[in-house]
């Protein structure tokens, strides 16, 4: 007979997400001997994309690469990241099925989860008019994504009340919708230039002939609707927590 203590609750923090300036917490509750429910919340405070630690390291590597050869595309991406702000919130609901003989949330597991995310992005898009003049369009995006997915992981009780939860690999897929707003005076642009700007904005999110942004440009600025797939990878996450 197994006499080990069956701890039904756990609160955890995702350490890996800190590399993205993202603070992620979760609460896990056992509803059966080897089945649990997990509720998670994560927040990325408003940040300049280029200041996020892991992205900043990537920018530094790109700058080194540009010094040793032609890397125009990398320089363009670096400029965009240095000029973009991002923030997000996400709520995740999950059910886990654990393996192993020991009671509670220990061992390898498979999970099904759903995630709802809100994101705010801001970036100044620079459009080059026919006369060679650069036109700044300050774009603000408000996006909402919902998706479902699966994940494999493992969790251990590494001390009497300390847990280590490893997200091995997983992913989700769903739908992303939202609005783009770029209010600015564009009366100086011709109708052809406005149509060209619309096409440039729509090309930002496209797959072949399929466009995920429907943009409209008029004298008052650029306005758009986003309707696209929403996907994400969930893996290589290391969480430390307390069981009780």
> What is the pLDDT at residue 144?
98
pLDDT, averaged across the chain? 91
pLDDT in tens, 9-28: 999 999 999 999 999 999 99
CA separation for the pair 199, 204 (Å, rounded): 9
pLDDT in tens, 134-183: 999 999 999 999 999 999 999 999 998 999 999 999 999 999 999 999 99
Look up the pTM and report it. Answer: 0.86
- Residue of 209 and 212 predicted with greater confidence: 212
pLDDT category of residue 238 using cuts at 50, 70 and 90: very high
What is the percent of the chain where pLDDT is above 70?
Answer: 89
pLDDT at 74 over 80: no
- Unique residue bearing structure tokens 């320089």: 75
Question: Would the CA dihedral through 146, 150, 154, 156 be positive or negative?
Answer: positive
Query: pLDDT exceeding 90 applies to what percent of the chain?
Result: 76
3-state secondary structure string across the chain: CCCCCCCCEEEEEECHHHHHCCEEEEEEEEEECCEEEEEEEEEEEEEEHHHCHHHHHHHHHHHHHHHHCCCHHHHHHHHHHHCEEEEEEEEEEEEEEECCCCCCCCEEEEEEEEEEEEEEEEEEEEEECCCCCEEEEEEEEEEEEEEEEEEEEEEEECCCCEEEEEEEEEEEEEEEEEEEEEECCCCCCCHHHHHHHHHHHHHHCEECCEECEEEEEECCEEEEEEEEEEEEECCCEEEEEEEC
130 Cβ neighbours under 8 A, 6+ residues apart: 190, 192, 193
Going by pLDDT thresholds of 50, 70 and 90, the confidence category of residue 1 is very low
How do the domains of the chain map onto residue ranges?
Answer: 9-243
Tokens of 66: 């540009």
Confidence of residue 50 (pLDDT cuts 50, 70, 90): confident
Of the candidates 122, 116, 129, 89, the one whose C-alpha atom is nearest the C-alpha of residue 217 is 129
pLDDT in tens, 104-143: 999 999 999 999 999 999 999 999 999 889 999 999 999 9
Instruction: Quick: pLDDT tens for 90-102.
Output: 999 999 999 999 8
pLDDT above 70 for 62: no
């Amino acid at each position: 007979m197994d006499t080990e203590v069956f701890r039904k609750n756990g609160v955890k923090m995702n350490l890996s997400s800190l590399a993205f300036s993202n603070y992620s917490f979760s609460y896990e509750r056992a509803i059966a001997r080897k089945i649990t429910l997990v509720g998670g919340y994560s927040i990325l405070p408003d940040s300049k994309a280029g200041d996020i630690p892991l992205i900043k390291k990537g920018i530094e590597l790109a700058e080194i690469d540009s010094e040793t050869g032609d890397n125009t595309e990398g320089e363009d991406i670096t400029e965009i990241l240095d000029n973009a702000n991002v923030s997000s919130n996400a709520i995740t609901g999950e059910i886990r099925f654990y393996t192993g003989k020991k009671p509670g949330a220990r061992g390898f597991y498979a999970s099904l989860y759903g995630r709802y995310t809100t994101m705010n992005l801001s970036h100044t898009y620079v459009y080059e008019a026919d006369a060679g003049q650069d036109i700044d369009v300050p774009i603000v995006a408000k996006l909402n994504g919902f998706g479902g997915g699966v994940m494999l992981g493992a969790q251990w009780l590494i001390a009497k009340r300390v847990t280590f939860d490893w997200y091995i690999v997983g992913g989700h897929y769903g739908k992303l919708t939202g609005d783009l707003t770029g209010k600015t005076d564009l009366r100086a642009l011709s109708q052809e230039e406005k149509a060209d700007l619309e096409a440039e904005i729509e090309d930002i999110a496209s797959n072949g002939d399929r466009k995920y942004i429907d943009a409209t440009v008029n004298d008052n600025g650029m306005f758009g609707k986003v309707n696209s797939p929403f996907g994400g990878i969930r893996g290589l996450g290391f969480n430390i927590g307390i069981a009780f």
